[in-house]
Amino acid sequence: MQVFNDFGRYCRLLYQAIRSSTELKSYYKNFVSEMIKTGYDSLPIVILAGVFTGAVLTIQTSYQLVSPFIPNSTVGAIVTQSIIIELAAVISGLVLAGRVGARIATELGTMRVSEQIDAIESMGFNSVSFLVVPRVLAGFVMFPILYIAAATMGVSGGLLAGMITGQVPAADFMQGARTFFLPWDVIFGMTKSVVFGFVITSISCYKGYYASGGAEGVGKATTNATVLSCIFVLLSDLLLAIILL
Amino acid sequence: MNNEIKVVITIFIAIVVGIIGYRFMSEIPLFSQTYELHATFDRVDGLVTGSAVLMQGVKVGTVRRISFTDNDSLRVDMSFSFGRKLNEGSVAYIRTVQLVDKAIEIERSSSSAMLESGSGIKGVYDDGLLGALSELSERAAPSVEQSVESLSSVLSQVDSMLLEGGRDDIAATLSSLNQSVEAIRQVLAARAGEIDESILLIRNTLQNMEGITSGQEEKIEQILANLETSSNELNVVVKDAGELTRELSEIMKKVNEGEGSLGRLVNDPSLYNNLDSLSYNLNELIKNFNDNPRHFLKHMRLIDIF
Amino acid sequence: MIEVKNLKKSFGKNLVWENVSLTIPDGETLAIIGKSGCGKSVLMKHFNALLLPDEGEVHVDGKNIFDLSYVDLRILRQRFGFLFQGAALFDSISAYENVAFPLRYFTELKEKDIHKRVMDCLDMVNLSGIGNKGTSELSGGMRKRVGLARAIVLEPDYLMYDEPTSGLDPETSDEINDLIIHMSENLNITSIVVSHDMHSVLRIADYAAFLDEQKLSWFGTIDEMLVADHARLKSFTTASEYAISNPQRMNVPD
């Protein structure tokens, strides 16, 4: 019962957000600052995650494919495709579920329990358009940007790791990567990142916006937001794979 | 720095990096104009988007797109990254590389005119030795099939011929022949002594002959010369016989096909009847031989004359 | 004028109060009193529809605010100033920006005029010097005063104070009380004050509403309250001995 109740309130919040998304004037400033916080400030962690994912993937794939019959270029193909289709979107999604999701839930939760949301409403603002819309929109816009960063850095990291360890020469890596490179994979990865951006920001906004019960309530909302974001990132990843492939 | 500018710069850099990365991965030259050609093939088999385009064994481009044309052939778009243009009249071959992979191999012509980007070149589906063999067998298959079919129809005709009463006749003939052979064997057994005698006589005759010939070498030589002439003549005869055989074979073919009187004769059961009566007469003859061998041996004496 | 008719509110299965009916004339000050957790703040948040009741109506200038569309309601809310218990300052921006905040979004004022208005309001709450301090650098009393400046910056017709003096030392409490009196007398603002601090209530309020036993137990003027024959109200008000021994002194502004 609680699940349906939650889902209903979540949908109502989204409906309110969509209805008030036209009030650009009231949330433009917040939108810009949210894009900074969600996108610009997340770049380092996403780049770091991308580089390490690519490097580890290259080293481990070349370790697994020890066979004279498998050319080195196969490693490049596997690493590049895995990163573009899956890992750039999902790893950055999980990292950002922690970083962005927790921040949003804490911000909104604190605003709720310290009556700042009431204050905004009592001044005559639409608190949803003021607080929720810019955060979700920033997710929509910035997650694909972060995906590009993660994907390019992931492939570069894989290339570098292969070169430095001497397991996969750069030319072989790139040859494999290019042979199996499909434009559709990029579109698919991008679509994933957009969906993850929406899932993470909207769930965190919901959890924060309806937080209650002081500091403990905010902590609970933050934990729930992060956990739920991760779960729904993985779920939507599976769903997208079924629908789009 | 202003937040708006930060956001705009971040998005701008990401888009630029994305486009460069995309072009780099797709092997589209990063900054220069792309050089693209297309070729039309009846079939492409293993060729896919991203397959290599080779020239003299070096990768010079990739297959961008494979699409059906209006007349059901396949148009393959290729992009080149080697920074030069192709000569007019170059040909694109689809070939197998590394056992299974398909690739396009460009063979340049010596024409001095260059192809502009976007133009088409001739496409040939070239599937190598294995392909040629299979193509040959494919072409031979119908005629082999036809031969087998006609052979089978001949056999079935023979079969039906045998079934239509002929079988019994042959069986009867064979059994009569069997009887005749048996009779001959018996005769030979019974007259072994006489035959021995005859052989002895022959031996004596040969001894006499040796005696005669020892004095007449010249005559024999002459005879041999005559014989040589005869054999020369015989050679001619053999040649004729060869001709005859060929003609006979033609006739047989016709007979086989049921043409002419002989053909009809084969189909005529009366032949077997005649054969039957022939073997009956042979039987009679052997009986007579048995009853009165002297009568026949008298004729055999003729051999003694030599 | 605010008229409250037969209001009932419950959270889930827990009834907060029911049968609440009262009227606040323009320019007067109402104090909502009662024990902690009896739903004083909840009642006040119904006056500008921050919370919705289960039953009943609230009329502001003759219109039921629960029937208004969201757009109209937001316009109405701009006529209400609200000082929250914890001041509810936006902690991501400076004190100055907090006060300027409604002006930036609801008026077409130029930066110069905004600055002038903000400075006026900060002067009014005796905080002209705080300039661009962050909200976390402010003390509790200063925060409340910034919150009050923000509440009055749009020149509201109604001002609502949620526990304006709680958690403050007596001297700062008096300063805040003086401010509230100043607002209602000089700006002719109708005020609603939620408090359990009888010391404040006796100084600032004209009317009192006593919430008890899940209903509006008593409603009347302050003078009536002091002589009212109501056992539970009496025990509540006499908990502050000083207030009851010096009723007249407490009721006089300085």
Amino acid at C252: V
pLDDT of residue B278: 77
pLDDT tens profile A140-160: 999 999 999 999 999 999 999
pLDDT at residue B118, rounded to an integer: 81
Q: Quick one: pLDDT at residue B155? A: 77
Cβ C105–A115 below 8 Å, yes or no? no
Chains C and B physically touch (3 or more Cβ atom pairs below 8 Å): no
**How deeply is B68 buried, as exposed, middle or buried, from its count of CB atoms within 10 A (0-12, 13-18, 19+)?**
exposed
Q: Residues B41, B46, B52, B57: is their CA dihedral positive or negative?
A: negative
Residue with the bigger pLDDT between B209 and C228: it is C228
Residue type, B293: P
pLDDT at position C174:
86
Contact B53, B80 (CB under 8 A): yes
Counting residues of chain B whose pLDDT is more than 70, the rounded percentage is 79
H or E stretch at C23: strand C14-24
Lowest-confidence pick of A79-83, B222-226, C32-36, C152-156:
B222-226
What pLDDT, on the 0 to 100 scale, is given for residue A233?
A: 95
- Express each pLDDT in C94-120 by its tens digit: 888 899 988 888 888 888 999 999 998
Test C88 with A121 for CB contact under 8 angstroms: no
pLDDT for the residue numbered C254: 44
Mean pLDDT of chain C: 85
Report pTM: 0.67
Per residue in C32-87, pLDDT (tens digit) is 998 888 888 899 999 988 889 999 999 998 889 999 888 899 889 989 999 998 88
DSSP of B37-68, one letter per residue? EEEEES--TT--TT-EEEETTEEEEEEEEEEE
Distance of residue B76 Cα from the nearest chain A Cα, in angstroms: 16
Q: What is the pLDDT of residue C247?
A: 56
pLDDT number for residue C105:
84
Q: What is the model's pLDDT at position A229? A: 95
The pLDDT tens digits of the residues spanning A3-59 come to 898 999 999 999 999 988 888 888 888 899 999 999 999 999 999 999 999 999 999
> Does C12 reach chain A within 8 Å, measured CB to CB?
no
pLDDT, tens digit, 9 for 90 and up, residues A119-128: 999 988 889 9
Confidence check: pLDDT of B189 > 80: yes
Q: Where are the domains of chain B?
A: 1-31, 33-126, 165-305
Domain ranges of chain A: 27-244
DSSP letter at A87 equals I
pLDDT attached to residue A118: 92
Q: How far is A151 from chain B (nearest CA, A)?
A: 9
Q: Using 50, 70 and 90 to split pLDDT, how confident is the model at C237? A: confident
Residue of A nearest to B101 (CA): A179
Chain B closest-CA separation from residue A229 CA (Å): 24
Contact C64, C56 (CB under 8 A): no
Buried b (16+ CB within 10 A) or exposed e, C40-70: bbbbbbbbbbbbebeebbbbbeeeebeebee
- In the structure, what pLDDT confidence band is assigned to residue C214 with cuts at 50, 70 and 90? confident
A242, pLDDT greater than 90: yes
Residue of C51, C77, C107 to mutate when probing chain A, most A C-beta within 10 A: C77
Residue-wise pLDDT tens digits, A94-116: 999 999 999 999 999 999 999 99
Q: H-type helices in chain B, by residue range? A: 3-25, 128-161, 167-190, 192-214, 217-256, 260-267, 270-291, 293-300
Summarised one tens digit per residue, pLDDT across range B88-103 is 888 888 888 766 678 8
Whether the pLDDT of residue B304 is over 70: the answer is no
Which chain A residue lies closest to C51 (C-alpha atoms)?
A: A118
Mean pLDDT, range C2-19, rounded to an integer: 89
- C101 and A114 in contact by Cβ < 8 A? no
Query: What pLDDT score was predicted for residue A55?
Result: 95
pLDDT for residue B150 is more than 50: yes
Residue type, A108: L
Q: What mean pLDDT is reported for chain B?
A: 77
